[in-house]
Structure 1
Amino acid sequence: MATGISLLAFIAFYLLYCSSKKMTTMGNLGFEQPIGAHRKASKYVGLALMIFSLGLSCFYWGIGSGTFTFFIILMTVASLVILLAPLRLLNYRLLGILFLCSILFETLLF
């Protein structure tokens, strides 16, 4: 569940990051061009996913700790996106390995 919440927060932040006017379209993941073409819709979808992720976090961990955990996840994801996207290190292979390890650790440890 924590991996799913983190994945939703990542997708939401990446949508909002790609739909900003200051970001140059790089094309690391392949779907940045349609996001840049439909900025307003991408912002609405990103905000909806962000609110949905916050709701799931509050449902899973409770209101206080869920909100706190969501903001920690959001800060971590945002830092990684802002650092790795301009360096073109964000690709499907890295994200797949990261989330596969996260699912594996979540299943084995929790």
Structure 2
Amino acid sequence: MFTGISLLTLISFYLLYSTSKKMSAVGNLGFEKSIGEHEKASKYIGLALMILSLGLSCFYWGIGSGTFTFFIILMTIASLVILLAPLRLLNYTFLILTFTCSFIFEVLLF
């Protein structure tokens, strides 16, 4: 569940980050051009996914600790996206490897 919430948060933040005017146009994942063409829809989808991940974390951990955990996840993922996207280190292989390892650790440890 933690991996799914983190993945939803990453997707939603990346959608919102890609629609920002200050973001340099970096085509790491290949769908940034589509996000730029459909900016308003991308913002709505990003906000909906962000609210969904907040709701899932509140459902999973409770209202207080779920909100706190969501904001910790959001700060961590936002920092990683802002640091790694301009360096072109945020690509499909990195994301698949990271979330696969996270899912394996989640299943084995919890």
Unaligned runs of 5+ in 1: none
The total of aligned residue pairs comes to: 110
1:30 aligns with 2:30: yes
Residues 10-89 of structure 1 aligned to structure 2 (within 5 Å): 10-89=10-89
Aligned residue in 2 for 1:103: 103
Unaligned runs of 5+ in 2: none
Aligned to 2:92: 92
Q: Which runs of 4+ in 1 moved over 4 A?
A: none
- Cα RMSD (Å): 0.5
TM-score, normalised to structure 1's length?
Answer: 0.98
Deviates more, 1:17-26 or 1:85-94: 17-26
> TM-score if structure 2 supplies the norm length?
0.98
Q: Distance in 2 between matches of 1:11 and 1:22?
A: 18
